[in-house]
Amino acid sequence: MTRLAQAMRDQQGVVLPMTLLALLILSGLLTGFLELSSSEPAIAGNHLMVAQARALAEAGIEQAIWALNTSGIASPLVGTAPAPYDGSRFVATSTGGVQIGGFKVTVTAGAVAYERIITSTGWVPDDTTARGKARQKIVVTVSNPALIVKDPAAALAVRGDLHLGGTAIVDSRPHDGAPGGLPPDARFDTSCGSTRGTLATGSISLAGTAASVWGGTDGNDTPNEYTDTQPTGAIPPGAGDIVTHVAAQLFDQFVLSDADVNALRAYARTRGTYLQHAAGGKIAFDDSRRLPDGLVFIDTVSGATLTPATPASEAAAVEIHGQSVFRGTLFVNGSLTITGHFSARGMVYVQDRLDMDVSGGEVAGAVLSRNVRDASSTSIRSSAAAIGVSFHCNWAKTGGGTIASRWATKHGSYKEVSGS
C-alpha cells in the first residue's frame, strides 16, 4: 500500500467532527446576534433620550434669551433671576399631547453688567423618574452690546487737562429742544440722570468769553461755574458746570476696562466695522470716505489695548476732515483729530489725545478722552456758533440708537457639561 493510499484511508470519520465544529461556531454567532438584537433597541433608545434631553436644554437656553430680550428678566440683574428662571421650576414639553420631557433653566448675573450666565438642564422623560431617564446640561454666556458703555461722567470728560476755545458749547441741562445743527427730532436725554457739563482730572480753561458750559446738576441757568474738587478729588452733589481736579481713581470708574474694550472689539468684528491702524500711516475720513454708522472700532497696529508704555508708532492715529451726521460709537485706540464740519449722534471715545478744531456741527451724546499715553491737554475749539457737545445719555450708550439692546450668545461660550 502506498503512502498516499494510507493517508487517504486515515481520513475516514473526519466529517462528523468538522460538522460539529461548524455548528459550534454558528451557535456562538447566533447567540451574539441574539444578544445584540436585544440590546441594540435599548442603546438606540438611550441615544434618542440623550439627543432629546440636549434639544430640551437648548430650548431652555432660547427661552431664557427670549425672556431677557422681552424684559421677562429685569435688567440690571443682581444674583439669580426670579422663577421660572432660578432653576426651581420644571418646564414640561410635549408633542401631540404626549409629554417627552422638559427643562430647568437658571439665569444669573455675569462678571460684568452686560453679561448673563444661562444654565439649562434638559430631562427625558422628566426630572423625577427613578430609572430610565436622560439628563443633559448646557451653560452659555450671553451679552448685550448696548450695555457695555457706562453712564457718562459728563457731556465732555477728560483724563488730564481740557482747553475750550472759540464758540464751543457744552450743554448737559435736562430740557427739550433740538441741539444746534441737528434735525428737530434730536432731544437732550438725561435718562441715566443729570450730569456735569465738563469734568477733568486736571484743569479746564476757557479761552475768551464765547465758550460756554452748562451743567445739569447745579439747578441754575448760569454757565461756566467752576467746582474745584481739590484736595479730596471727590465730586460733591450739585457740582457746577465745570468740574476740575477729579481724583483719577474716581474718573476711571466711568471708563471702559480692558474687558469692556475687548467686548467692543469683538462686536465690531462681527459687524464688519473693525479697522486696524497700519504702521507708519493714518486713517482718514472725509466727505469722500465717510465713517460708517454703528460701532466703529479703530485699533492699534498689533490689536493690543493702549497703555502708557505703548509707543506712538503702535497707537492708532485717526483724522476726520468734515462729516455729515454720524450715528454710532467711534472708539479710537489712539489719538483723534477732527477738523471742518462734524456732527454726530452717539459717543466719541478716544483712548489717547483728542483735538477738535471745527467750523460747525455738534456731538449729541457724550465725548470722553482718556489721554492714556499723551500728557498733552485735550483741545476743543470752534469758529461757529453751534458747535460742541449736548448730553444725550441714550445715544451715548447705544451709538445714536444703532447698537440694538439685544442679548445674544457670546462667541465661544457654549459648553456641554461633562457627566450630565
Angle (CA) 33-38-41 rounded to 5° is 115
Domain of residue 271: give its range: 154-398
Q: Which helix (H) or strand (E) holds 316?
A: strand 316-332
Same domain for 322 and 351, yes or no, is: yes
Using one digit for the tens of pLDDT, what is the confidence trace for 99-116? 899 999 999 999 999 999
Same domain for 204 and 74, yes or no, is: no
Q: Is 6 inside any structural domain?
A: no
Q: Is 16 inside any structural domain?
A: no
Same domain for 170 and 284, yes or no, is: yes
Q: Is 279 inside any structural domain?
A: yes
Which residue matches cell numbers 492715529? Answer: 317
Same domain for 208 and 348, yes or no, is: yes
Q: Is 341 inside any structural domain?
A: yes
Query: For residue 168, how many C-alpha atoms fall within 13 Å in the half-sphere facing its CB?
Result: 28
Q: Is 370 inside any structural domain?
A: yes
Residue 186 confidence (pLDDT) above 60: no
Q: Is 134 inside any structural domain?
A: yes
Which residue matches cell numbers 444725550? Answer: 392
Structure confidence at residue 388 (pLDDT): 81
Question: For residue 151, what is its C-alpha cell?
Answer: 453712564
Which residue matches cell numbers 409629554? Answer: 99
Same domain for 120 and 89, yes or no, is: yes
Same domain for 104 and 164, yes or no, is: no
Q: Is 5 inside any structural domain?
A: no
Same domain for 165 and 296, yes or no, is: yes
Using one digit for the tens of pLDDT, what is the confidence trace for 341-367? 899 999 999 999 999 988 888 899 999
Structure confidence at residue 285 (pLDDT): 93
Using one digit for the tens of pLDDT, what is the confidence trace for 123-182? 999 888 776 689 999 999 999 999 999 999 999 999 999 999 888 889 988 765 444 444
Adjacent-strand bridge partners of 388:
169
Using one digit for the tens of pLDDT, what is the confidence trace for 4-20? 556 555 556 667 777 77
Which residue from 356, 331, 327 is spatially nearest to 344, judged by alpha carbons?
327
Q: Is 31 inside any structural domain?
A: no
Same domain for 174 and 225, yes or no, is: yes
Same domain for 218 and 328, yes or no, is: yes
CB 188 within 8 A of CB 177: yes
Same domain for 63 and 162, yes or no, is: no
Question: What's the whole-model pTM score?
Answer: 0.82
Same domain for 59 and 171, yes or no, is: no
Q: How many domains does the chain have?
A: 2
Using one digit for the tens of pLDDT, what is the confidence trace for 201-243? 999 999 867 889 999 887 778 899 999 999 999 999 888 899 9
Q: Can you say how many angstroms the Cα of residue 111 is from the centroid of all Cα atoms in its chain?
A: 12
Using one digit for the tens of pLDDT, what is the confidence trace for 282-338? 899 988 889 999 999 999 999 998 999 999 889 999 999 987 789 999 999 999 999
Same domain for 335 and 193, yes or no, is: yes
